[in-house]
Structure 1
């Protein structure tokens, strides 16, 4: 009577066509049940049978130089396509019989290459080897010792690594691959090709080793708990599902690792309360260092559960760690009161934003009037404003009858106008540079005729920009009296427009002293406090209409000013 163990549960043995391979009888995979030497002594003989692919009839194997039996192995030197199918190994004597089947697949080079995702055709699964960083390892081709027993001469071993070159850290010595110093980029598949002679035939087989790097062995290997931290507090809510998360870090180490929760010193499996359960999952693996997570689930959390002791623990062969979880009950916030409070705050913020958006200039002027610094007490300048403009009738009339009058008479600034304040016979260039240096602001009135090449206005603009860039003792203000075509701007004017704000004169809309133009201009001008009835920053200037003056009046005013201030003219020498 023969006892049939059926087909071995393992996957089919895969071999490459034209290469050496062998089949090991699965009956001897458990030495405590069957041992080849003991079986021989007990009078049991090993027989092999073959059921070719697509057939049902088993046939005894006829041994030859290509198919041979060596102890518990059946050798195929080399394997051919006719060898695939089912193989049965049977131990029998006169009174008993035991047999087991296994399956063999023979792959062509095309099937073993792209079909197995290898760049080199290999049928056998790669052997995994781990090497710690900054350490070395000697790799020997797998199954080389088995082949050496069958070869008529010393096998020849050749190593190959796709798209890699050997260097001082990796070299081949006496058929072995030596990695002297493991680095991250040395992780790869390494192929070894073995060739040997048997019965006058040249035979070969191929193996592959998957080399990966792990953390250095000199580093501590005791596991640790990453979460919860020492001061972490879990906030829980009654009558809900509570999740307590624990994350452990396990440095690379051969052997088992464990992460678990205990409640009052008992594991979840030991608790009789079915409300408690846990789930474990791997989080990350980084060069052999593994991060694992365990989540304790508590259904329908009750007040009594707050008094229990919850502990998360981790352990490996080098040690263990434990951390106690701290729980506190979540306080219910008054949702109605909180919602009303947030609504009021939001409304106030919107109101304040609207007020600032509409009255930002007034607020800025108010702030300057209280906290600003009068520059007359911090520098040695003589003039507050130097006005630069195109020497044309309309621009000159705007400067003398509007800008000068308001700045001097209404706002209390000292204004310098070259055509009015310079003395005849002087050098225009030197006097222009002197006036600009002695002023706190350069007010540039832009119009289509401004800053023509070789004009005095261009000289004044350059002097102002240089003073602003070098020492910061002068600030330039751009006032657009009439629109300019950008292609007509000179390089200095483009540079000034990018760096400075532009205040636009809008004709009749800007006549009121409380208009946007004058408020915006006063922000750029030096701060002045009310003195003896002279207007200050905010609220000191009564609303009035600026009356236009004709050119005759402006010229008269110019002559009158000059006659009223003879002492100032004499001081210019």
Structure 2
């Protein structure tokens, strides 16, 4: 306490405010600094209290006095060293001089706050992980929904086919094209394909027939197998032929077989990877045969958007007919409902978009919900409509 009354009140120099709150952790060492400026004829010593009791006997104190800027001013400083080792070291430390009081309150470190922060970080990581998994699993579904709802149906462009399919007339490629690719896209999703097993670019320049057929199709699909690459134009100059294909169609689609991918020439795979922005490369895997596989979703995204129409409207080859064509039913006496030919439709899909339907109007589905039934393919007469269906090749008949 002060030995003589001070004419002027001491001025607090350190800390900045008379009340300090600290949150030290166990094992830390604190130096509590209490510095006051005293006027002339003001003598006294600083005393420390810990929760109302004397602190100097428990903690180490260093006290010093020096002159201020003028001879009538003295600066009194006291530093109390507190080693926080136990829970008893937390509490209120008070520095006293006459009516000047400076308090340092040591709070226990809030473990619950750290736990909450850790739990929050784990929740954020969980949300990011779940979001990433959902993005990988549902990305194609979301893109398909967005395309089917807001995409361009491409129905007024004068094209007759949705895709031109070029494949090698080998056993594997022919079966894949006629028994997997074509039935799935046409019977399930209502696409209309033009198949061509001849050389796509047999000469140095595209033929007039090739240009005409390609101009009738909205997309170009190439079954790029080992047999396809053994064609003359592929062996001589695949790079030049690829760039010509890019000129024939917008973003052509190349389908590769996973079991043949490692045997493809390195120049071919490098060239395809270098043109990723101009073409679409799809890999047919063992699990791609499932209708819900990512292969079909990516292929549908690359193909035009299909429009579901009312029953009885649109091109009968574009609409799903459940494979009820009388020309394909054995021993059928039913007449051809369209004797003028495939193009003699009464109300074409390509003339105008479908009219707006009243609420509650039923729409046909773009394909049967079940798998394609091919159990009776052997008993059907394919020669009658070989120009369109092309389900088997000449040697297999």
Bin for the TM-score computed over the shorter chain: 0.3 to 0.5
TM-score (norm 1): 0.33
Higher relative contact order (CA 8 A, sep 6+): 2
More strand by share: 1
